[in-house]
Structure 1
Amino acid sequence: MKKKVVVFGDLPIATKITKDLISRNNVNLIGVVLSKKKFNNNDPWKNTQCLSEFAKSNKIQILNINDLLTKKIKVDLGFTIRFNKILSRKLIDKFTDGIINFHGGLLPECAGLYSSCHSILLNHKKGGGTLHYLKSNIDGGNIIKRAEFDISDDDTSISLFKRTEIYLLKAYYQVINSIINGTNTSIPQQELISKGIKSNYFDKNSLIGKRKVKLNSSQDDILRVVRAFDHPDHEKAYIVINGIKVYLSTIKET
């Protein structure tokens, strides 16, 4: 029997995964849910459409959350792929096999928002993303796979974002067959916490006050702050001269 699947997402990575799902004989894609927010396409795949464009051009049904809650739509499995809305417990419970989230940071150490910024600010040696089951508490579900890579001294927020997208996609291909077949495994985040991995949660206010560079800091600390905010969708790090913000970047002169 085919798995009835819904994809939640907007970015090109969601398009790539949607393409793969509709190519599978054991999957019936019911539709996609979009956030209706316009995104700058910072993904590493410049020639891949955002999901809204792909869905419209391929006549894939575009659903909304209310459709899933109120209509008699039977669904087995959901994928929230860098989706920016919080789903309710009532909606999660509609999916008999659960909803799998593509989180843009390693769990449990980078739950919440701005993982690429915080990974650099905290001088983490490992970056990446996490495939995990959704629960009502944000980013708190069992982990299916951590997609890890080493963070270098040259990495910036945008480079971590792009590498995370690539590694999340690789992780998806490594586990999707077992997920569809119902044979995949997962572990509680507490199991990793008990082994010494620190749990962190970063909310929408977690970067307030962190962009201003302290010139009495070490060179390494100054560069770390600059790299953490070197991203086209974030205000950059800055110093203040005569009351004027002067923004800083790690872009090298040629």
Structure 2
Amino acid sequence: MKSLKVVFFGTPEFAKNSLKAIHESHHEVAGVVTVADKASGRGQKINESPVKTYAVDNNLRVFQPEKLRNPEFLNEIRNLNADVFVVVAFRMMPKILFEMPEMGTFNLHASLLPDYRGAAPINYAIINGEKKTGATTFFINEKIDEGNILLQEEIEISADENAGMLHDRLMEMGAKLVVKTLDGLADNSIQEKPQPSVEHPKNAFKIFKEDTRINWNMNSESIHNFVRGMSPYPCAFTTIKIGEDEKSLKIYEGKFEIYAHEKTPGSLEIDKNQFKIYTKDGAYFPEELQLEGKKRMNVKAFLNGFQHFDSISR
């Protein structure tokens, strides 16, 4: 089978697995483009992206441009004479860059396009209670996540799977799909096709802090899906009052029950063994949580130390 010369663009762990799969295949990684190293944490330690760490460990040529339109960078990439560019969890690319290789530039996206275009497809698939999702490879064009589809694969979402678990499964599946796409392009066996026309595709916009607050006026199952879809990152939260103080409470995991009651959604019932928060149509029982300033813990350990909550702040 023909070997393609590839330039890879990516940053996080999700992308690293695809780079690894390409590098271990018969295709050639001519270069790797990732973000610049960043200082973070209390000591402002310089951190490399997972993609850079893998590339350096495997003696792959790395590029870390501040700007993708930089003429010097564009010239260096052009001189690699790649057949195709592969993009996984990177940033917006200018047309001058994605049109450079003869075969084009394709992206791996963690949804069944056209649904869940955007930055957080894994989170929103779970938040919306989907029973299945998948991964798609598609040619990049000037619109976000709207290019012609190359390959697509589905997986089932299990009832209690959270975003982190689904992320890891899609990361493995997506890496294989990337190599399968390269193979198909190499032997000309893939027929690209336009994305289906959908009047109202489901969106997966970037999640900001204010988007992660739990609305206790929702029904129990929707709250459960919201917590799952935000766990472990960025994590759903509520605020509680302890005396005169109001503190943030992250909830990573829990269970729910549906039953009629006359309690106000968001009101609490707490004893030494149980932490119950009333919802619109039942109750939610946090099982893994983290109070502001404290470490993550299970509900039993949590209640041993904190039993005097006044209310949920809605």
Bin of the TM-score, shorter chain as denominator length: 0.7 to 0.9
Aligned equivalents of 1:249, 1:2: Cα separation in 2: 44
Asked whether the 8 Å contact 1:82–1:104 carries over to 2, the reply is: no
Deviation string 1:134-170 (CA, Å, 9 cap, x unpaired) is 1111111111122211112201111111111122123
* Partner in structure 2 of residue 219 of structure 1: 220
Asked whether the 8 Å contact 1:105–1:164 carries over to 2, the reply is: no
State the SS of the aligned residue for 1:179. helix
Aligned equivalents of 2:217, 2:180: Cα separation in 1: 46
Deviation string 1:10-61 (CA, Å, 9 cap, x unpaired) is 333133223234xx2xx443211112356xxxxxxxxxx9332232233222
Query: Post-superposition shift, 1:98?
Result: 0.6
Asked whether the 8 Å contact 1:14–1:51 carries over to 2, the reply is: no
* Partner in structure 2 of residue 79 of structure 1: 86
Aligned equivalents of 2:73, 2:84: Cα separation in 1: 12
* Partner in structure 2 of residue 53 of structure 1: 53
* Partner in structure 2 of residue 248 of structure 1: 251
State the SS of the aligned residue for 1:166. helix
Return the letter of the residue paired with 1:79: V
Name the structure where strand makes up a greater proportion of residues: 2
Query: Post-superposition shift, 1:178?
Result: 1.5
**Percent same amino acid among aligned pairs?**
22
TM-score, structure 2 as length reference: 0.66
State the SS of the aligned residue for 1:178. helix
Change (3 A) 1:155 1:193: farther
Asked whether the 8 Å contact 1:4–1:29 carries over to 2, the reply is: yes
Confirm or deny that 1:193 pairs with 2:197. Answer: yes
The alignment yields a C-alpha RMSD, in angstroms, of 2.6
Q: Which structure 2 segments of 5+ residues have no match? A: 39-48, 255-286, 288-297, 301-314
Deviation string 1:213-248 (CA, Å, 9 cap, x unpaired) is 2334322122111111112x41x2122222322221
State the SS of the aligned residue for 1:239. strand
Query: Post-superposition shift, 1:179?
Result: 1.5
Aligned equivalents of 1:208, 1:50: Cα separation in 2: 24
Asked whether the 8 Å contact 1:68–1:91 carries over to 2, the reply is: no
In the alignment of these two chains, the number of paired residues is 232
Moved over 6 A (4+): none
The within-5 A match list for 1:45-124 is 50-63=50-63, 64=65, 65=68, 66=70, 67=72, 69-71=74-76, 72-73=78-79, 74-83=81-90, 85-124=91-130
Query: Post-superposition shift, 1:7?
Result: 1.0
Between the two structures, name the one with larger relative contact order (CA 8 Å, sep ≥ 6).
1
Deviation string 1:194-219 (CA, Å, 9 cap, x unpaired) is 5x8x5234333x55644222334322
Asked whether the 8 Å contact 1:3–1:180 carries over to 2, the reply is: yes
**Bigger Rg over Cα:** 2
Asked whether the 8 Å contact 2:131–2:157 carries over to 1, the reply is: yes
Asked whether the 8 Å contact 1:111–1:200 carries over to 2, the reply is: yes
Aligned equivalents of 2:108, 2:197: Cα separation in 1: 20
TM-score, structure 1 as length reference: 0.80
Asked whether the 8 Å contact 1:127–1:160 carries over to 2, the reply is: no
Return the letter of the residue paired with 2:204: F
Aligned equivalents of 1:155, 1:226: Cα separation in 2: 11
